[in-house]
Amino acid sequence: MTDGVEERLLAAYSRTHFRVTGVAAPFDLQIGRYSEELASLHAVSSVSTSSFITAWNPRSVKQDARWNQEAQARLETELRALGVSMVAGIGEDPCGQWEGEPSVLVLGISRLEAERIGRSYGQNAVVWCGKDAVPELLVLSATSGATE
């Protein structure tokens, strides 16, 4: 395990398509693969970083839809209060074995802030995108709790 996250979960996260839907031409982010679309979005948004974050299913434990929707609404409210721009997205299993998780691509957020927010919503990991526009999976500590 890595920071308490099982290897099977890490493999599943690495296969996930992190789909950015809130743009004119939706595109997928994949861990370790350069994204020309992301690089362009960074440029037109005048940012050099972003993070793909969700509040759904903390610790990869399925929650009911209402709980997930309320948690996601709290996350988006917190992000708006920070003054960062968001683009709608969804994390999708390319094999279709689990339901997609509504998410946001947060533009211009620092790596430390992305990690803090992911931990505060009980996530095992978030996707970090730096200046190179290559999405990276950031495994978060499994010891911090989810927001109630």
Task: Kindly tell me if the per-residue pLDDT of 35 is higher than 80.
Answer: yes
> What pLDDT does residue 87 have?
98
- pLDDT tens for residues 98-138? 889 999 999 999 999 999 999 999 999 999 999 999 999 99
With CA atoms as reference, report the closest residue to 16 among 92, 115, 107, 67. Answer: 92
Least confident of 7-11, 75-79, 100-104: 7-11
Say if CB 27 and CB 50 are below 8 A apart: no
pTM tops 0.85: yes
Mean pLDDT of 44-59: 97
pLDDT band at 10 (very low <50, low <70, confident <90, very high): confident
Task: Kindly tell me if the per-residue pLDDT of 53 is higher than 80.
Answer: yes
> What pLDDT does residue 144 have?
41
Mean pLDDT of 82-98: 92
Residue 104 host element (H or E)? strand 101-107
pLDDT band at 4 (very low <50, low <70, confident <90, very high): low
Say if CB 121 and CB 111 are below 8 A apart: no
Residues 143 and 120: their CA atoms lie apart, in Å, by 11
